[in-house]
C-alpha cells in the first residue's frame, strides 16, 4: 500500500463487461466491497437512445448504436457518415467502419493495407507470403466497445461449449497449446454461465455432436427449452442430407486426413429467452441481435451488472479510464485513472485519480487489458516476465459465403443465427489445417452484401452490384418498376442465405498488441493523451489451409442444395489475401483472444487457470485475452465460465 492506509476496496475491477460484471456480482454476493472503473459512459436507463442511433445509422454495423457515433449524413466522400477522430475521443475503440483506415479514423494503429500501399502501376494483388508461408501486415478486423456493459451489448448470443479436443490441441494434434484446465471442470463452469445468461437449448438435440467430442454430464438440463430452428435452417438441413466431406483436400501440406465427415445441421444453444426468464421478454425474432436486441430478450452484461449493484456492495465509477497499475515489489498497490467529462462547450476535460484495493482485476477486453499492462510502470509494462502480454492475438477469422437457394427459404427472420454445422469441428485433420464451425445466417445477404439495400437499388437503378441482376439482354442489368420490381425483389430476397465459417486460428507470437510508440514517444494518442494500441496481425498456412477447406465445404453445401453460389472475394479491401493462387476475404468475428494467455508455466503464459497473474499475485487479468487458443466455439460463454472460477479464487484469496 502506498502509505500504509487500508485499501479503499476489497477489489477494484477495470471494465464493466461480461467478466467484470460477473466477478463483481459474485464478490458482492459474498459481501466484498467492489469498485468497477468503467472507461465509458454509463448504462442508459432505457435503450431508446441506442435503438434510435441504430435506426438512423447509415451503416448498421455492430458499433452503430454505441458512442462515439458515425455521422448521420452520407456523401460520396463519406458514404457511411463522417467517422470520429480517435485522437479526440476519451474512449475510442476499434470499429468495423474504421478497418483499413489511417490513424485519424482507426483507433487501432495497423499496417496500412497492402492494396493501399503497393505500387499502383501493378495489377491489383494481395500481400505475398513470407519465408514461412505466413502472410503478414494484414488488418485485425475485430472490434469492441468501451461503455457500461461493454462489447457483449452486441454479441450474437451463440452459447456453444468448446469440444474436448479444443482445449488439448497440442496433446492431441501437435498444434498450438493446451489449456491448463480440464473438461469436467469447464462443464461445471459452463453450467453456471448458462444459468446466468439464460441459455436456451436441449441436450437431446446436441447428441449428434458427441461424434466431435461434445458431451454433457448425465442428466444435465439447460435452463430453457431450445429456440426453434428457422425455415433457413430447415432448408439447409434437408438440402445437405447425406453430404460428406473429407478431412483434408488433396495436396494439403503436412499430411492428409481422408476420413469422410458427415455434414449436418444442429440447433445452436443461444443466450436469448425461449420462455419468460429473469424478468425479460421472450425472443420476438427482431433479427437484430447484432448490434442490439430492442427488447433485451437476449442477455447482455447489463443484466448481470444490475444484479451486482443489487448486492449493495458494488459501485461503478463511469468515465474512468485506468492508465496505470502501480506495482510495488511483487504486489499491485493502486490503479491510477482519469475521470473525463465534457464542459459546457463540449471540450474534453480530465482529472487524475487513484484508488486502492486488496486485489485488482483487469477486465477491460483483450486489447485494452494488454494496453493497460504495457502502459503501466512508465510504459515498461507489468506482469510480463513471460513476454507474452499482447502476444498471440487471435480472432476467429471469418470466411463468408453466400448463395441463392432454388426455392424461397425466407431469411431476414428470427434471431440472426439459430443453427450451424458443428460436425466438422474436430478430427485428425487438425494436425494439418485449422478447424472451423459453420454458422448459418438467418439474415439473407445482409452481412454479405448490405442487403436488402444493395439488391433493391440494383433493380431500381439498373445496376448489378450484387451479381444477380444480369437478366437483361446480353446479360445487362434490368431496371424494373411497380409490381414487377416488387415481385422480382421478392424472388431474390426470399432465396438469399449465407454461411460464415469461423477458424481456429493458430496462436502466433508475432500477432500482437503493443503500444504505438517510437523512442518513448507515442505516435498516436487518444483524447486523454494515452498511447494507442498498435496491432500486428497475419495468417499462417495452417489457418489459410482451413480457408481452403471451408470454401470447398461451402461450395459442396450449395451444390448439394441446388443453390447458386455468389461468394465474391478480392474486393480490393482490407481482409483480402491470396493463398495458393486463390483469393479469399476474411472478416473479424468480434472474438478477440489470446493477449494474456493462461498456462501452468509462468515462462510461457501470463495468468494461471484462475486468470491470476503469475507475476503479481494480487492481480487477476480476465476475459477472452486469457484463452491460449481460440478453439471452435464463440468465446463469450467460456469467458464467463472462467470468470466464475476467477471469482471463486479471488474470494478465497481475500479470506474471511
Partner 1 sequence: MSTNPSTPSEATLQAFADMSAALTGFQSSFIRPFLDPVNLSGTFYSFAVSQVGQPRMDALLAAFNNLNNQNPKPTPQQIADTLLETSLDAPSLQAQLCQSIVAMWYLGSWYTPGVLGGNGFAPPALQVITSQAYTKSLVWNLAQAHPMGFSPFVFGYWSQQPASLQTFGVDTGNGGGQ
Partner 2 sequence: MKKTITVILLTVVAATMVLMTSIPTTMAPAQSNPAIVLSPNIPGDATFGPLPTNPTNEQKLLAIQGDFDIYSWNTFIALNWPPGPDGNGDPNKKIGQNGDNDTVWEHYRDVADIFLPGGATPSWNGPETVPTQCKAFYKPGMKILSQVGKTPTVLTDFSQPFNTGPLIDQNGNYTRYDILVNKPMFDYILANKLYSKAGQQAFKSEVQFPCGGPTGPEGAIMVKSSWKVISPADRGRFHTQTVLVYNPASQNPKYAASCSTKLMGLVGLHIGHKTDSGAQWLWSTFEHVDNAPSEADIGSNNTLKPKTYNYYNPKCSTKNCPPNQVPPRPWNPTKLSAFHSQIVRMNMFKGNEFAFQSAAARNADALQLLLGVNSKSVWRNYELISTMWPTNTGKCQATPGDPLGTPAPNFLANTTLETYIQGMVPNVSSNCIECHNNATMTNAKASDFTYILQRAQ
Interatomic CA distance for residues 456 and 496, integer angstroms? 13
Q: How many CB atoms lie within 10 A of CB 368?
A: 28
Q: Does 274 participate in binding partner 2 (rule CB under 8 A)?
A: yes
- Subset of 68-107 contacting partner 1 (CB under 8 A): 72-76, 78-80
Task: Decide if residue 529 touches partner 2 (CB under 8 A).
Answer: no
Closest by Cα among 92, 612, 534, 25 to 314: 25
Query: Which window, 176-184, 427-435, 485-493, 521-529, contacts partner 1 (CB under 8 A)?
Result: 485-493
Q: Tell whether residue 47 is a contact of partner 2 (CB under 8 A).
A: yes
**Secondary structure (3-state) at 1:** coil
Question: How do 419-421 and 436-441 pair as beta strands?
Answer: antiparallel
CB atoms within 10 A of CB 347: 8
> How many residues are given for the chain?
656
Interface with partner 1, residue 413, by CB under 8 A: yes
Kindly state whether residue 478 participates in binding partner 2, applying the rule CB under 8 A: no
75 binds, among partner 1, partner 2, none (CB under 5 to 8 A by kind): partner 1
**Alpha-carbon separation of residue 609 from 14, 370, 385, 525, 628 (angstroms):** 20, 18, 17, 34, 10
Which residues, numbered 297-356, are part of the site for partner 1 (CB under 8 A)?
Answer: none
Q: Which of 132, 171, 225, 349 binds partner 2 (CB under 8 A)?
A: 225
Instruction: Give the one residue of 87, 170, 187, 231 binding partner 1; rule: CB under 8 A.
Output: 231
Q: Is 480 in the site for partner 1 (CB under 8 A)?
A: yes
Provide, rounded to whole angstroms, the least separation between the CB of residue 300 and partner 2: 13
45 binds, among partner 2, partner 1, none (CB under 5 to 8 A by kind): partner 2
Phi-psi region of 292 (alpha: psi -120 to 50; beta: other; left: phi over 0): beta
Of 1 and 460, which CB lies nearer to partner 1 in the complex structure?
Answer: 460
Check binding of 568 to partner 2 (CB under 8 A): no
- Identify which of 30, 187, 36 has the alpha carbon closest to the alpha carbon of residue 653: 30
184 binds, among partner 2, partner 1, none (CB under 5 to 8 A by kind): none
Q: How far is CA 508 from CA 48, 168, 224, 511, 545, in A?
A: 42, 17, 39, 5, 16
Query: What's the min distance (Å) between Cβ of 316 and partner 2?
Result: 10
Which 525-584 residues touch partner 1, going by CB under 8 A? 568, 571-572
The residue within the footprint of partner 2, chosen from 119, 251, 279, 343 (CB under 8 A), is: 279
Q: Does 456 bind partner 1 (CB under 8 A)?
A: yes
Q: From CA 546, how far away is CA 632, in angstroms rounded?
A: 12
> Is residue 474 involved in binding partner 1 (CB under 8 A)?
no
What does the block give as the cell for 186? 469447464
CA atoms within 13 A on the CB side of 191: 13
Q: Which of 248, 401, 418, 511 binds partner 1 (CB under 8 A)?
A: 418
Distance from C-alpha of 146 to C-alpha of 132, rounded to nearest angstrom: 36
With CB under 5 to 8 Å by kind, the binding choice for 225 among partner 1, partner 2, none is: partner 2
Site string for partner 2, 52-71 (x = CB under 8 A): x--x----------------
Angle at 495 between CA 493 and CA 499, to 5 degrees: 105
Task: Indicate which single residue of 294, 408, 450, 462 sits in contact with partner 2 (rule: CB under 8 A).
Answer: 294
How many other C-beta atoms lie within 10 A of the C-beta of residue 514?
Answer: 18
Rounded Cα–Cα distance for residues 349 and 235 (Å): 56
Stretch that binds partner 1, among 145-153, 283-291, 512-520, 635-643 (CB under 8 A): 283-291
Q: How far is the CB of 263 from partner 1 (least distance, A)?
A: 22
Contacts of 224 (CB under 8 A, 6+ apart): 198, 199, 200, 201, 273, 274, 275, 277
CB 241 within 8 A of CB 234: no
The span of 177-185, 213-221, 230-238, 521-529 binding partner 1 (CB under 8 A) equals 230-238
Residues within the interface to partner 2 (CB under 8 A): 29, 45-49, 51-52, 55, 225, 273-276, 279-282, 284, 286, 294-296, 306-307, 309-312
Amino acid at each position: 500500500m502506498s502509505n500504509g492506509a487500508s485499501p479503499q476496496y476489497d477489489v477494484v475491477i477495470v471494465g464493466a463487461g461480461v467478466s467484470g460484471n460477473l466477478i463483481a456480482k459474485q464478490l458482492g454476493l459474498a459481501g466484498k466491497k467492489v469498485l468497477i472503473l468503467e472507461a465509458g459512459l454509463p448504462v442508459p436507463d432505457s435503450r431508446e437512445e441506442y435503438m434510435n442511433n441504430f435506426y438512423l445509422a447509415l451503416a448498421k454495423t455492430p458499433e452503430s448504436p454505441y458512442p462515439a457515433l458515425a455521422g448521420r449524413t452520407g456523401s460520396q466522400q463519406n458514404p457511411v457518415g463522417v467517422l470520429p477522430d480517435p485522437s479526440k475521443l476519451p474512449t475510442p475503440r476499434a470499429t468495423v467502419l474504421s478497418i483499413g483506415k489511417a490513424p485519424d479514423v482507426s483507433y487501432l494503429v495497423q499496417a496500412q493495407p497492402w492494396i493501399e500501399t503497393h505500387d499502383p502501376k501493378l495489377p491489383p494483388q494481395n500481400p505475398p507470403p513470407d519465408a514461412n508461408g505466413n502472410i503478414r501486415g494484414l488488418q485485425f478486423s475485430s472490434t469492441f466497445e468501451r461503455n457500461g456493459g461493454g462489447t457483449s451489448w452486441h454479441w450474437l448470443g451463440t452459447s456453444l461449449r468448446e469440444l474436448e479436443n479444443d482445449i488439448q490441441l497440442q496433446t492431441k494434434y501437435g498444434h498450438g497449446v493446451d489449456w491448463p484446465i480440464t473438461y469436467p471442470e469447464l462443464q461445471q463452469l459452463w453450467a453456471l454461465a448458462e444459468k446466468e445468461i439464460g441459455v436456451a437449448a436441449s441436450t437431446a438435440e446436441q447428441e449428434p455432436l458427441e461424434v466431435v467430442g461434445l458431451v454433457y454430464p448425465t442428466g444435465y438440463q439447460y435452463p430453457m427449452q431450445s429456440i426453434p430452428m428457422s425455415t433457413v435452417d430447415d432448408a439447409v438441413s434437408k438440402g445437405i442430407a447425406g453430404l460428406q466431406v473429407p478431412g483434408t483436400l488433396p495436396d494439403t501440406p503436412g499430411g492428409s486426413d481422408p476420413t469422410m465427415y458427415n455434414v449436418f445441421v444442429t440447433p445452436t444453444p443461444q443466450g436469448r429467452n425461449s420462455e419468460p426468464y429473469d424478468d425479460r421478454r421472450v425472443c420476438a425474432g427482431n433479427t437484430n441481435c447484432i448490434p442490439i436486441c430492442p427488447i433485451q430478450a437476449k442477455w447482455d452484461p447489463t443484466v448481470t451488472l444490475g444484479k451486482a449493484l443489487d448486492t449493495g456492495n458494488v459501485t461503478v465509477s463511469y468515465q474512468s479510464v485506468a492508465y496505470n497499475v502501480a506495482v510495488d515489489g511483487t504486489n499491485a498497490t493502486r490503479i491510477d485513472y482519469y475521470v473525463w467529462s465534457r464542459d459546457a462547450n463540449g471540450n474534453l476535460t480530465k482529472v487524475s485519480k487513484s484508488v486502492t484495493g486488496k486485489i485488482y482485476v483487469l477486465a477491460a477486453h483483450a486489447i485494452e487489458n494488454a494496453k493497460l499492462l504495457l502502459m503501466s510502470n512508465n510504459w515498461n509494462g507489468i506482469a510480463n516476465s513471460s513476454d507474452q502480454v499482447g502476444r498471440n492475438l487471435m480472432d476467429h477469422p471469418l470466411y463468408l459465403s453466400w448463395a441463392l437457394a432454388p426455392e424461397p427459404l425466407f431469411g431476414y427472420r428470427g434471431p440472426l443465427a439459430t443453427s450451424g454445422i458443428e460436425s466438422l469441428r474436430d478430427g485428425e485433420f487438425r494436425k494439418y489445417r485449422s478447424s472451423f464451425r459453420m454458422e448459418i445466417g438467418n439474415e439473407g445477404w445482409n452481412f454479405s452484401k448490405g442487403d436488402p439495400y444493395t439488391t433493391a437499388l440494383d433493380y431500381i437503378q439498373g445496376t448489378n452490384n450484387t451479381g444477380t441482376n444480369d437478366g437483361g439482354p446480353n446479360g445487362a442489368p434490368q431496371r424494373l418498376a411497380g409490381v414487377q420490381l416488387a415481385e422480382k425483389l421478392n424472388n431474390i430476397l426470399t432465396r438469399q442465405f449465407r454461411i460464415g465459417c469461423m477458424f481456429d486460428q493458430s496462436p502466433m507470437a508475432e500477432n500482437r498488441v503493443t503500444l504505438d510508440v517510437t523512442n518513448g514517444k507515442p505516435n498516436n494518442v487518444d483524447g486523454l493523451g494515452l498511447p494507442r494500441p498498435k496491432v500486428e496481425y497475419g495468417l499462417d498456412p495452417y489457418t489459410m489451409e482451413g480457408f481452403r477447406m471451408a470454401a470447398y465445404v461451402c461450395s459442396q453445401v450449395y451444390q448439394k442444395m441446388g443453390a447458386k453460389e455468389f461468394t465474391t472475394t478480392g474486393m480490393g479491401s482490407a481482409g483480402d489475401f491470396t493463398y495458393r493462387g486463390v483469393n479469399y476475404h476474411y472478416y473479424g468475428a468480434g472474438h478477440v483472444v489470446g493477449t494474456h494467455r493462461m498456462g501452468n508455466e509462468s515462462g510461457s503464459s501470463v495468468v494461471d487457470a484462475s486468470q491470476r497473474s503469475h507475476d503479481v499475485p494480487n492481480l487477476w487479468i480476465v476475459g477472452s485475452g486469457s484463452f491460449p487458443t481460440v478453439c471452435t466455439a464463440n468465446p463469450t460463454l467460456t469467458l464467463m465460465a472462467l470468470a466464475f472460477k476467477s471469482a471463486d479464487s479471488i474470494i478465497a484469496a481475500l479470506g474471511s
